[in-house]
């Protein structure tokens, strides 16, 4: 089995049986931002503390990605010829923040606005060094 690594450091806890997204919470105004930044993007005066987001939320909206993204450089394991459409959506995590993520459900007809979703970590691609890149996604609960 290849070594598994997160897409980027500091996005989510990994490895973890129950992963969480790592956001930043402003020390002055309380603004929550994901991914975490060193300084607050709302008040510009505060630093941020590590803040773990809820693992479950509600599907706020979604769409189907029907073509292989051209930029930024797409690191998926597929090619333009083998690309398969996937669903992407915004998940409302407790009214604090909307997070954009890939959805594990391939059929858009099985998704509904307001549906409860749960964070998971899934394979994304395999690099030249046989390292498997892992990304966060959300799956329907139940």
Return the percentage of the chain with pLDDT > 90, whole number.
73
Q: Is residue 66 part of a domain?
A: yes
Whether residue 89 lies inside any domain: the answer is yes
Would residue 16 count as lying in a domain?
no
Domain count within the chain: 1
Residue 76: which domain range?
Answer: 55-140
pLDDT at 72: 66
C-alpha closest to that of 57 among 11, 9, 21, 10: 21
49 in a structural domain: no
pLDDT at residue 19 is higher than 80: yes
State the pLDDT at residue 92.
Answer: 98
- Calculate the average pLDDT of the chain: 92
pTM: 0.90
Task: Tell me the C-alpha distance between 66 and 77, whole Å.
Answer: 16
Q: Is residue 91 part of a domain?
A: yes
């Amino acid at each position: 089995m290849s070594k598994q690594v997160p897409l980027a450091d500091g996005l989510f806890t990994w490895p973890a049986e129950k992963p969480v997204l790592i956001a930043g919470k402003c020390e002055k105004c309380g603004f929550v931002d994901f991914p975490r930044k060193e300084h607050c993007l709302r008040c510009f005066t505060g630093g941020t503390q590590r803040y773990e987001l809820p693992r479950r939320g509600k599907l706020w909206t979604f769409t189907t990605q029907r073509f292989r993204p051209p930029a930024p450089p797409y690191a998926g394991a597929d090619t333009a010829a083998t690309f398969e459409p996937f669903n992407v959506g915004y998940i409302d995590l407790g009214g604090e923040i909307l997070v954009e993520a890939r959805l594990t459900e391939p059929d858009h007809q099985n998704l509904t606005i307001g549906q409860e979703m749960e964070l998971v970590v899934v394979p994304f691609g395999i690099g030249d060094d046989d390292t498997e890149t892992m990304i966060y996604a959300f799956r329907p609960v139940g």
